Structure 1
């Protein structure tokens, strides 16, 4: 499973000259956690997150700070380009979804833009990854059967799935074919583990 298989596209984006207030409106109205920042030809130049937009923008209530702090005398930055995180941590559209998950967790980020070269083509979030893990077993069975039918024909493979764990039984006893079947099944979104065995193994 690759990033392009589960990414969200098209993407709501902003530009460096977009007002911060407008970016805040997009994030709050759509329920996003971040917005990619692009320039001409959808070239990714950064990302603006909830943290970027909140930082230094919520002022202290003077009623709780009398004799201690002074109120800010200058306004906060007003454009996305002034507050965005750059460069953005991005992933290639061909990146393995397992590597994407590792990037999100290791870097402690909620989402990452997906690029083709420098061009933004999508965005992938922790929620997108969770959505694949939540796929219904019946949907996974149908997809696995479809990809296997293209390789070995209809009726050759017996497929079962429970909680994302796939078991494939091959009507024939061909080690190479079973290896290919495992690779194909592993490419289906929502699959968490694959076992492929021959019908002969079933009778032993």
Structure 2
């Protein structure tokens, strides 16, 4: 599956000279975690995220000359999007594979990736887009799949499975190192699993 198949388009963008209040309003109104920032030629020049705005707000309200936090107003805050945006933007082309998108998002801990042709922005892919397409899978879904595979291999009550950030922890209630090795191989064959470890509840990990 390619980026063009899962990206959202047309893209809602914001200009670098826009006020931070407008950026905050757009993020809140549309439920976005980030907005691509463009120049007068609609070329991608950065991205502004919730984290960028929160960081700026915290910096501002920590200043003794700033208004009290409960009365904070972006309107009185003179900075613009270009002052706080992230300029080193990770972007990919429409032909990029969704597995590459998923790897980039997970490894770089980013929530959205603009899709570009040169500097022209064509679309954007979020983690939600990849989840919807089944490229990125939730830990709960992965744990369910592993439990299903282990139940088919051996007694379902024998195994306890937990998954965190794609890494599976498998507890075996029966002491069989060979079966636990098979359990790890079964888990690692499933989509979304980045690592797997199995151990007997009252023994050292094999």
User: Counterparts of 1:87 and 1:98 in 2: how far apart (Å)?
Assistant: 21
Match of residue 94 from structure 2: 93
Gaps spanning 5+ residues in structure 2: where?
Answer: 68-75, 136-144, 146-190, 192-206
State the shift of 1:117 in Å.
1.1
State the shift of 1:91 in Å.
1.1
Number of equivalences = 129
User: Counterparts of 1:28 and 1:119 in 2: how far apart (Å)?
Assistant: 25
User: Counterparts of 1:12 and 1:129 in 2: how far apart (Å)?
Assistant: 19
Match of residue 64 from structure 2: 71
Gaps spanning 5+ residues in structure 1: where?
Answer: 62-68, 135-162, 164-191, 193-204
User: Counterparts of 1:82 and 1:32 in 2: how far apart (Å)?
Assistant: 20
Give yes or no for contact 1:2–1:96 (8 Å, CA) kept in 2: yes
User: Counterparts of 1:70 and 1:84 in 2: how far apart (Å)?
Assistant: 20
User: Normalization by structure 1: what TM-score?
Assistant: 0.58
Q: Secondary structure at the match of 1:28?
A: helix
State the structure with bigger RCO (CA 8 A, min sep 6), 1 or 2. 1
Q: Which has the larger radius of gyration?
A: 1
Give yes or no for contact 2:39–2:45 (8 Å, CA) kept in 1: yes
**Structure 1 runs of 4+ with >3 Å offset:** 58-61, 72-77
Match of residue 154 from structure 2: none
State the shift of 1:133 in Å.
1.5
